[in-house]
Amino acid sequence: EILENRGEVICHGVLAAPGRPVCVTVINGKAVINTSGPMIAAYYAINWCLRPVIARWFGVPEVKPQTVTATLTTAIGTPNVSDGAELELLYRLYVSKTADGYEAEPITFPPKTAPRSKGFPNGQFISVAGKGNYPKGSEIEVQLLYPIEFIY
């Protein structure tokens, strides 16, 4: 409401989690981006909502992360929220190399075990809204957070 009273709201809310309450407003000819929520929600909003807009605005190529195809070690799903909307969901993953390629272990929040013996997330996956669940053993395209040389 505060942003709406000061300018024109272009977008409020995205079908993604974390980061659903993202708000883009123009106030006095300047963009104001609200990335409320936990740190991971702000990260999502900046990387998937704001970064492409900035690249397009300035006419520069958007830097795409390196990807690998990995097999899920645990099933994951695409959640529905109370209003029935299906969301894209950002999953943090621990990706490791196997004899056959790569496997991806979803990291829960909060972690079920702490500290993690495997280290920090080194990959991420965004589920497709409306696709449903991804069973254990599914192959997914994982965006790497570190160069592939650091995946072992």
Q: What is the DSSP string of 27-89?
A: ETTEEEEE--SSHHHHHHIIIIIIHHHHHHHHT-PPPPPPEEEEEESS-B---B-TT--B-EE
Q: What is the pLDDT of residues 129-143, one digit of tens each?
A: 778 789 999 999 999
pLDDT at 80 over 70: no
pLDDT at 25 over 70: yes
Write down the pLDDT at residue 84.
66
Write down the pLDDT at residue 70.
98
Across the range 69-97, mean pLDDT stands at 83
Q: Extract the tokens encoding 79.
A: 């959640």
Q: How many CB atoms lie within 10 A of CB 72?
A: 21
Q: How many CB atoms lie within 10 A of CB 20?
A: 19
Q: What is the pLDDT of residues 84-116, one digit of tens each?
A: 667 788 899 999 999 999 999 998 765 555 444
% of the chain with per-residue pLDDT over 70? 88
Cis amide leading into 110 (omega within 30): yes
Write down the pLDDT at residue 139.
97
Provide the pairing of β-strand 139-144 with 67-72: antiparallel
Residue type at 13 in one-letter notation: G
Write down the pLDDT at residue 23.
87
Across the range 73-84, mean pLDDT stands at 75
Write down the pLDDT at residue 114.
44
**Could you give the dihedral angle defined by the CA atoms of residues 147, 20, 46 and 3, in that order, rounded to the nearest 10 degrees?**
-170
